[in-house]
Structure formats: C-alpha cells, structure tokens
Amino acid sequence: MIIRDKRLAEIATRHGVDITMVEPPDKNTRLEQLKSILGRRDVPFPIDPEYGEKYYQQALDGIPFGIGTLNDKTVDLEGYENHQEYHTMTMEDHLSWACLVADQQSTKHSYACGEYLHGEEMFEIGGTCIPDYYILNARIFQQTGWQLATVSMIIPADVFFHCHSRRFFPVTTFMRPLECDYLEEPDIGHDIAGHVATFTIPQVAEVMNNHGLANDIIRQERKQRLATARDEQEVQRIDEETQELLLYAGRLYWFTVEFGLVMQDDSLKAFGAGILSSPGETRYSVDSPHSNRVLIDPSLDKDLLRLATTDYLISEYQKTYFVMKSFATLSSLTPERILRIVHVARDLPHHTWREIVPGDNVINVGTILTSPNEKYYRLLARQPLDECLQRAAIRNLRLYAAGLDIDTGEKQMFMDALPPIPDEIHEEFRKLDEAGTWKESS
C-alpha cells in the first residue's frame, strides 16, 4: 500500500502503529471469516443454523449491519436505527481505531482488570482495523447471548436502556477524530474498545441487563400513571418524577458499568467502559492523586445510596471513582433493588463528585476535595462553581426549605451522617430563592 498522506503516516508513527497494517480486510475475506465463526459449536451460545444461514445471506447480499438477528429477539430503536457500512469507513477512521488500540496497550496491562484483557482477546477487538459488526456480533452472541444494535450517535437514555433489557447493546458507527483521547459522546472506540470486552464479566452483563429491566419498569409505571392523570399539571409532575428516577438509576450505571474500578488481589483495576476507552483516563483513574477513590460494597444499601445521590459531570475525568469490593457484589443490583434505591434517593440531599462523605470507606482523598458545606458557602458568596456543585447546592437547599421526608430508619441514618448546615445558610438562601436569584441557573 502506498501511503500518500504524510500527516497520517506521522500520526501512526507517533502511536507506534505500523500504518501498512491499517488495511481493512476485503469483503470475501470477511465473509469467509464469518462463515467459519457461525459454524462454531464449542461456545456457550451456539447459533441456530437457521438463523445463522439467514444472517450470512444478509452479509453476502451486502445488507449493512443494523440489529443482530441471531435469535428470535429484536429491539425497537424508535427511529434511531443506524447501519454499519463497513466499506465506507475511511483510512482515518481505521487509523484512529489502530492508534486507540495501540495507546491502550501501554495502559491496559497494568490498569485494566484481567477479565477485560480476556474479553478483548476472545472478541478479537485488539486489531489494527475497526471490527466488522457482522463478525463481532456473532462472536458476542456466541459467548454471552447479547447482540449489537447499531444506532445514530446519541440516543435517549430510555431507548438505550430498553436495548439492555432485551440484551442488545447499542453501538455507534462513528469513530472519534484522530488523536482524541476523551469524548463526551460514545463512539466506536467507547462502545467496542470500552464496553464489548466487559460483557464477558458475567456480573457486568447481568447488571447491565438489570438496569434495562429497571428502566423499563419505571417507564411502564409512568404510562400507567399518565393514563389516570387529571390535568396538564399532573402530567408534568409525573414526567418530572420519572426523569428524576431515571437520572438516579443512570448514576448507578455511571459509577459502575461506565466508570467503575474493582479491587483485585489488593490492587485497583479499571473495568468501566468510559475509563477503558480512554488510555489517558485508564492510567489516571488508578494513579492520579487528584481524584477521590472510595471503596464500596454494592450489596449494602448505604453504599448504593451513596452512588445514587452523587452528582457528576460528563465533560472531564472523574473526580471520585468508586471501587467495587468485588465483581460478585454487583450481582446484588437486581431491578427491584435499583428501583427501591432510586425512590429513596429522591427524598435525600445529594453530594457532588468532589466530596468525601462521612462514613465513606476512603482509599484516597483527592486534591480536588471540597467539604460538603463548601458548595453552599460558595453559592451564597457568588463564587464560581462548576455545574455539578451549583446543581447539588440549589437542589439540596430547596429540599431542606420544603421539608425533608425522613420516614424510614434508612433515611435517618443517611441524614445522621451528614454535617449540619448552619441556619444562616438556609435563611440567606431562602430569601434569595424567593427573590428568584437562582432561576436562571437551576
């Protein structure tokens, strides 16, 4: 292959990539590979030959991959369906993938959990070209029973989690620009190089499915409540309450599946896809002195509440990482328990991702630490606050002003652990809030 673009060659060299290897396999080679994979029987979920033949025919006919069709299940993507048109991906796309994989090499062996490395090998996603989704989907199905559903770049959370409830994982078809380490939105690098390998961790796959089921129940409850809503105001209230529950459920997902660390052999290891798809954050999440790290046991309600009540931003590396005691403890996140915890979280004050909370099992305190009451003082002093601090400060003070609903011992225990907020803060906030001071920012 003649490399005409000097810029691409320089980028490849910078990442230790042999650019002559960045050449996607042609259609015949991919079809041959697909045929041999579909015939495998020595796997946990062998593909029924009837489904396998139709699937192969679709690939042969050049139909772009959309939603996996290896069993009788499918998923409604509500208009967000997309396709992977493998032949349209550019040299830049494949090189961006190759650079990401090469950069991961330098961090994942030291910082990723062993299961991730195993999964990456099993699905052959450590190569120099973007995987063909026909092939990758077949491999994933055979090992886990999950399939891929191709979507446009960002889809609403309810569609995303609905896919999870059906054991479909939504994947994008967009590859990040060259040399971009951290993206706010998902891309092929995040979805495939981050998430897919972690499906082989049974507890992670299970908790993803459970999140999907919990979200489906929340949406179902919304539908039932709307059917008897008396007026527009009630409809609005039901929608707001539903969004709130989904937000807190999303935090449980965020701090585990996306940005979780796990303790293995007395060492911190990363397993969250948001971490693993960023070589920079992979190292940072384990090593950096800036962020807090808190050990949690997800089977304890108080620890799960800690996650559900912690606000974060998506625009930068995490300020607090939660370290699972073990993968086994994740199995305790059943749909019913997720629902119960997010309902409790609605009535409690929330923390920001910069805080250490009394009772935390602290592994290290980061240099970014702020005390729980600092957000209130800074809000009232009109000091600059990031969105997370501001959002939590205003929410909590309004909640206190409206009166807390502490009707269980569990909520009381949560409240007892928090440092009291001085009365003058409540009073000053109340006056300013009544004057509409926080209207724009809340």
Contact residues for Fe ion, defined by CB under 5 A: 273
Q: Is the dihedral of CA 54, 55, 61, 63 positive or negative?
A: positive
| Letter string b/e over residues 341-379, b meaning 16 or more CB atoms within 10 A of that residue's CB | bbebbbebbbbbbbbbbeebeeeeebeeebebbbbbebb
Instruction: Output 98 or 273, the one with its CB closest to Fe ion.
Output: 273
**What is the secondary structure of 280-331 as a DSSP string?**
HHHHHHHH-SSSEEEEE-TTSHHHHHHHHTEE--SSSS-SEEEEES-GGGGG
Closest separation in Å from C-beta 141 to Fe ion? 20
**Any long-range contacts for 169-175 (C-beta under 8 Å, 24+ apart)?**
169/140, 169/195, 169/196, 169/199, 169/208, 170/77, 171/133, 172/82, 173/82, 173/83, 173/84, 173/85, 175/89, 175/93, 175/94, 175/96, 175/97, 175/130
Closest separation in Å from C-beta 30 to Fe ion? 26
Chain residue whose CB lies nearest Fe ion: 273
E strands of 23-79, at which residues? none
Instruction: Output 11 or 276, the one with its CB closest to Fe ion.
Output: 276
46, 71, 133, 201 from 308: Cα distances, Å = 38, 35, 34, 23
Q: Which phi and psi angles does 70 have, rounded to 5°?
A: -95, 0
Using CA atoms, how far apart are residues 265 and 279, in angstroms rounded to an integer?
A: 22
Closest separation in Å from C-beta 171 to Fe ion? 10
Place of tokens 């931003």: 313
DSSP for residue 176: P
Closest separation in Å from C-beta 408 to Fe ion? 33
Instruction: Output 171 or 392, the one with its CB closest to Fe ion.
Output: 171
AA letter at 138: A
Closest separation in Å from C-beta 122 to Fe ion? 20
Closest separation in Å from C-beta 274 to Fe ion? 6
Closest separation in Å from C-beta 273 to Fe ion? 5
Contact of 269 with 112, CB cutoff 8 Å: yes
Q: In whole angstroms, how large is the CA radius of gyration of the chain?
A: 23
Closest separation in Å from C-beta 223 to Fe ion? 27
Instruction: Output 318 or 390, the one with its CB closest to Fe ion.
Output: 318
Closest separation in Å from C-beta 50 to Fe ion? 33
Closest separation in Å from C-beta 167 to Fe ion? 16
Instruction: Output 273 or 392, the one with its CB closest to Fe ion.
Output: 273
Tokens of 258: 């996306």
Instruction: Output 273 or 397, the one with its CB closest to Fe ion.
Output: 273
Place of tokens 């807090």: 292
Instruction: Output 100 or 348, the one with its CB closest to Fe ion.
Output: 100
- CA 28 to centroid of chain Cα atoms: 35
Instruction: Output 56 or 169, the one with its CB closest to Fe ion.
Output: 169
Q: SS3 of 80, please?
A: coil
Instruction: Output 165 or 390, the one with its CB closest to Fe ion.
Output: 165
Instruction: Output 101 or 273, the one with its CB closest to Fe ion.
Output: 273
Distance between terminal CA atoms of the chain? 56
| Residues contacting 193, CB < 8 A, separation 6+ | 97, 100, 101, 104, 125, 276, 277
AA letter at 86: Y
Instruction: Output 18 or 316, the one with its CB closest to Fe ion.
Output: 316
Closest separation in Å from C-beta 190 to Fe ion? 6
